[in-house]
Amino acid sequence: MGNKPQRIGIMGGTFDPIHMGHLLMAESVRMDYDLDKVLFIPTGTSPHKDDSSISPAIDRYIMTMMATYSNPYFFVSPIERDRPGPSYTIDTVRALVAEYEPGTEFYFLTGTDAVLELHTWNNINELLDLCHFVAASRPGKVRTIEQEIERLGPKAVERIHRLTTPELEISSTDIRERVRLGKSIRYFVPENVEHYIHKEGLYRK
């Protein structure tokens, strides 16, 4: 009785590679929403991206593990990595809901850019029933997502929350490009991730 339900953050992404923007956003949302933990879930094969250009799931998983390891609130889930076929968020969230205690509250963390694509996601209505969304501000991306949220309907208005977080103008695309051009990625990614990228020869071409 009186036990507070657990609050679990879900941070989905391609994480190719994971970078300081992801980490700062997730830690900011964790603190603001008093989350008990944040699960980082690297995609297996993403339905939204051309797969041939994406690094192997195992490399992305290892980098995500390395980047989050020192944070006691951050965990990495292999749930999408191990699932054959494309990863759909609805399958992941359904599996998590089944795995955790009834009453657990789930918060799906996204940048504002991802909110603009929500209407293309599978079973978005059920997804909004199963979890809240926290749309964290992301620099350079469209800032006015209110219209898009309203277009998704009243459930979206209720379940998608906006949060202004400290902003880092970093993207994985930009990091891959920097490596390809031989530029430094120091301070864009955690040091151990930087070493992993160079050691494994990722993003050279």
Nearer to ligand ATP, 4 or 178 (CB): 178
Tell which one of 8, 9, 10, 14 touches ligand ATP (CB under 6 A).
Answer: 14
Nearer to ligand ATP, 116 or 130 (CB): 116
Query: Starting at the edge strand that comes first in sequence, how are the strands of the sheet with 160-163 ordered?
Result: 74-76, 37-42, 7-13, 105-111, 132-136, 160-163
Alpha-carbon gap, residue 138 to 163, rounded angstroms: 10
Token digits of residue 37: 């933990």
**Residue ranges in 146-205 that form contacts with ligand ATP under rule CB under 6 A:** 168, 170-173
Q: Which residue matches tokens 């501000």? A: 137
* 15 scored as a contact of ligand ATP (CB under 6 A): yes
**Residue ranges in 19-38 that form contacts with ligand ATP under rule CB under 6 A:** 21-22, 25
Tell which one of 113, 123, 130, 162 touches ligand ATP (CB under 6 A).
Answer: 113
What residues does 40 pair with on adjacent strands?
Answer: 11, 76
CB of 40 to ligand ATP, least distance (A): 10
H-helix or E-strand containing 74?
strand 74-76
What residues does 10 pair with on adjacent strands?
Answer: 39, 108
Total interface residues for ligand ATP by CB under 6 A: 18
**Residue ranges in 57-76 that form contacts with ligand ATP under rule CB under 6 A:** none
Tell which one of 23, 30, 80, 111 touches ligand ATP (CB under 6 A).
Answer: 111
Binding region for ligand ATP (CB under 6 A) out of 74-82, 111-119, 120-128, 146-154? 111-119
Nearer to ligand ATP, 39 or 114 (CB): 114
Token digits of residue 185: 């990625």
Kindly give the interhelix angle for 20-32 and 57-68, rounded to the nearest 10 degrees: 50
Burial 46-67 (b: 16+ CB within 10 A, else e): beeeeeeebbebebbbbbbbbb
Q: Which residues sit at the interface with ligand ATP, rule CB under 6 A?
A: 13-16, 21-22, 25, 110-111, 113-114, 136, 138, 168, 170-173
